[in-house]
């Protein structure tokens, strides 16, 4: 057991947020934590980390529990460089290695008596270094920074980076610290698809326990084996990942409704018998028996119906011609950086096209270019484009919600406007607020309701699932699947992309690379060996030259050679450590062993340095 909540209740200003919550997290357990906006997930996490103290109940923690917590907006702050900020975590490892070097140097000139002491010290240091895997700290740092997208910015100062980058660096530090319990609130925010896959792979072999709050359903399905749901202040545990949880939750609700209805029927029968027989002398005793039975019965509470998810319906008035949009032979740049060179893009009627690529490759910039009216862009006849901006820049924070909607869609009646807003999840109180008072999720729902009202036959969507909770994401998926028009979208939500897209265009190495078929076909292609991919690619798509492929093959061969040599050196070092422990007073042999171990350490360090440049 790592941590246990025992009937915990907590509230603000006397109003309970969580009530009678009990659950336990065990060693190496992988748990997803779900709940709607405002349900109290952050409160539970702060109680778990000790930032808050429960009003009632107890929280029991394992003695000396090491806990790492990534907050959604918890960026790391430091005046150090990116690499230096990670290296700080391994100060003890560096000191152990330095002390071993000093000990080995002293052994070269030691007397017989001194050698005995130094040999014992070297053995102890070697054991501690082996236990901590100290020699490999540089590779660990480079592996994590490279996987999280920081391979080319080791020397950049942390305090010059954006908030999203500093949050990613905080996650890097937590991964390197390896706490017993790693609590991640929104770990997939700010991550592109390749980084997401890397993080999933890394966490799948993580030695400690995980508690994950995320809207990324792929992430939850890949990593979790239990799901906690917080709803109406009550916490429920389900065995299984997100997909299994959805099935179990529905089964649980149906069973609760069945039992409640069955009890209501039983109560009605008993009460009817009492009402008809209580005044009759012959059957009064039987009626009294039913009264006592009713009094003893433990009444079930009426199941709270699940919150109704938002509903979206996208429709249009007129079909466009077959070719919706075409742009040929254009360059695309942003902030003096060339993103695309001599690119071409075509979107046909009825296609639902996902635009993919790592952060910074120009996905959002391309969407804005295609909507810019540039003369190189040809739009088909009867095309009506409706655009969703991930920043919701068209919304004025000072406007009342209803006025913001009406300001764009004046042709709708108040009833129609309120109906669309309510359908999207904004209630009567929300529509009277200013836009600036809305949460990120409600602001996104307002923008989607406004998109519905535009009745575009071509939807261009830039990160439409940002800020939406899981029910809203699934509602939007269903609406876009049912939409008979054309869609071009950017999204980091892989489940959303899989559900909606029937075509993928990848931005990679300054090129637009089209893939026919949905997201799973695209992933299958990307997972093929490089040789197989090269065979499938067309010459016009500008893939690597013969010389570049040869260099890549040399790099891979060298990586394999280094890994093989390191394995041999590690085996030799382990054998020498055992021999050193057994050589007793043979100080000559002890000196030879430590000298060889020093050579191994020096060679290993050189190999790891080279390895770090190759990966």
pLDDT in tens, 279-303: 777 788 888 898 999 999 988 988 8
User: Of 106, 98, 124, nearest to 591 (Cα)?
Assistant: 106
Q: Could you tell me if residue 85 is left (phi over 0), alpha (psi between -120 and 50 degrees) or otherwise beta?
A: alpha
- The pair of structure tokens assigned to 578 is 């055992």
C-alpha dihedral sign at 604, 610, 611, 612 = positive
Residues 25/224, Cβ–Cβ less than 8 Å: no
∠ CA 148-154-159, nearest 5°, is 90
Is 50 exceeded by the pLDDT of residue 540? no
Stated as kind and residue range, the H or E segment containing 168 is helix 163-177
pLDDT in tens, 184-193: 998 987 788 8
Residues 75/167, Cβ–Cβ less than 8 Å: yes
Is 70 exceeded by the pLDDT of residue 422? yes
Tokens 């907006």 identify what position?
73
∠ CA 596-613-531, nearest 5°, is 115
The residue that leads in pLDDT, 536 or 247, is 247
Q: How many CB atoms lie within 10 A of CB 526?
A: 16
Is 1.10.4160.10 the CATH classification of the domain at 323-541? no
The residues, any chain, with a CB within 8 Å of residue 461's CB and separated by 6 or more, are: 387, 388, 487, 488, 489, 490, 491
Q: Is 416 helix (H, G, I), strand (E, B) or coil?
A: helix
Is 60 exceeded by the pLDDT of residue 529? no
What pTM value is reported for the model? Answer: 0.74
Q: Could you tell me if residue 549 is left (phi over 0), alpha (psi between -120 and 50 degrees) or otherwise beta?
A: alpha
pLDDT band at 144; cut points 50, 70, 90: very high
Which DSSP symbol is given to 161?
Answer: S
- The pair of structure tokens assigned to 380 is 């088909």
Average pLDDT in the 412-432 region?
Answer: 88
- The pair of structure tokens assigned to 407 is 């300001």
Is 80 exceeded by the pLDDT of residue 72? no
The residues, any chain, with a CB within 8 Å of residue 614's CB and separated by 6 or more, are: 555, 558, 559, 562
Residues 464/448, Cβ–Cβ less than 8 Å: yes
Which residues make beta-bridge pairs with 185?
A: 213
Strands (E), 62-200: 67-70, 181-185
User: How is the chain split into domains, by residue range?
Assistant: 323-541, 546-614
pLDDT in tens, 565-604: 888 888 888 888 778 777 766 767 877 887 888 888 888 8
Is 60 exceeded by the pLDDT of residue 259? yes
Residues 382/316, Cβ–Cβ less than 8 Å: no
pLDDT of residue 613: 66
Tell how far CA 272 is from the center of its chain.
56
> Crossing angle of helices 414-424/401-408, nearest 10°?
120
Is 50 exceeded by the pLDDT of residue 532? no
pLDDT of residue 146: 92
pLDDT > 70: what percent of the chain?
Answer: 94
Q: How many CB atoms lie within 10 A of CB 224?
A: 24
């Amino acid at each position: 057991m790592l941590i246990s909540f025992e009937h915990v209740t907590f509230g603000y200003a006397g109003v309970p947020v969580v009530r009678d919550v009990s659950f336990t997290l065990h060693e190496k357990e992988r748990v997803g934590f779900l709940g709607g906006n405002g349900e109290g997930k952050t409160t539970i996490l702060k109680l778990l980390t000790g930032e808050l103290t429960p009003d009632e109940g107890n929280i029991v923690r394992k003695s000396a529990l090491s806990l790492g917590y990534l907050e959604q907006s918890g960026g790391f702050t430091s005046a150090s460089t990116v690499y230096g900020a990670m290296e700080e975590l391994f100060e003890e490892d560096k000191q152990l290695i330095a002390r071993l070097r000093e000990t080995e140097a002293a052994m070269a000139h030691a007397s017989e008596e001194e050698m005995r002491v130094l040999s014992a010290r070297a053995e102890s240091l070697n054991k501690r270094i082996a236990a901590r895997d100290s020699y490999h700290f540089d590779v660990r740092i480079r592996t994590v920074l490279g996987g999280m997208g920081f391979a080319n910015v080791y020397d950049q100062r942390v305090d010059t980076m954006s908030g999203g980058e500093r949050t990613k660096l905080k996650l890097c530090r937590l991964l390197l610290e390896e706490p017993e319990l790693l609590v991640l609130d929104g770990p997939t925010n700010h991550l592109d698809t390749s980084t997401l896959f890397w993080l999933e792979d890394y966490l799948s072999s993580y030695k400690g326990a995980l508690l994950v709050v995320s809207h990324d359903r792929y992430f939850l399905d890949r990593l979790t084996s239990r799901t906690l749901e917080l709803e109406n202040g009550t916490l429920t545990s389900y065995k299984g990942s997100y997909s299994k949880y959805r099935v179990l939750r529905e089964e649980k609700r149906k069973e609760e409704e069945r039992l409640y209805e069955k009890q209501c029927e039983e109560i009605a029968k008993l009460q009817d018998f009492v009402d008809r027989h209580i005044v009759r002398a012959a059957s009064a005793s039987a009626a009294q028996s039913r009264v006592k039975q009713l009094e003893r019965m433990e009444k079930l509470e009426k199941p709270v119906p699940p919150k109704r998810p938002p509903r979206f319906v996208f429709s249009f008035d007129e079909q466009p011609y077959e070719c919706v949009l075409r742009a040929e032979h254009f360059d695309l740049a942003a902030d003096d950086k060339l993103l695309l060179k001599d690119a071409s893009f075509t979107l046909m009627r009825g296609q639902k096209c996902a635009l993919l690529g790592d952060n910074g490759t120009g996905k959002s910039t391309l969407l804005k270019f295609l909507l810019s009216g540039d003369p190189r862009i040809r739009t088909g006849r009867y095309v009506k484009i409706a655009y969703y901006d991930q920043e919701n820049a068209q919304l004025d924070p000072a406007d009342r919600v209803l006025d913001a909607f009406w300001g764009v869609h004046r042709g709708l009646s108040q009833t129609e406007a309120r109906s669309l807003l309510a359908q999207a999840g904004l209630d009567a109180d929300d529509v009277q607020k200013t836009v600036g008072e809305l949460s990120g999720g409600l602001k996104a729902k307002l923008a989607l309701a406004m998109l519905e009202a535009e009745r575009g036959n071509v939807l261009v969507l830039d990160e439409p699932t940002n800020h939406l909770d899981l029910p809203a994401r699934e509602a939007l998926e269903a609406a876009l699947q049912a939409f008979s028009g054309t869609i071009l979208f950017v999204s980091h939500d892989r489940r959303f992309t899989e559900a909606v897209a029937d075509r993928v265009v990848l931005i990679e190495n300054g090129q637009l690379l089209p893939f026919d078929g949905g997201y799973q076909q695209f992933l299958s292609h990307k997972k093929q060996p490089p040789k197989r991919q090269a065979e499938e690619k067309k010459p016009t798509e500008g893939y690597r030259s013969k010389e570049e492929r040869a260099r890549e093959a040399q790099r891979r061969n060298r990586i394999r050679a280094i890994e093989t040599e390191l394995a041999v050196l590690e085996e030799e070092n382990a054998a020498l450590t055992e021999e050193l422990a057994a050589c007793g007073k043979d100080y000559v042999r002890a000196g030879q062993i430590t000298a060889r171990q020093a050579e191994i350490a020096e060679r290993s360090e050189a190999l790891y340095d080279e390895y770090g440049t190759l990966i």
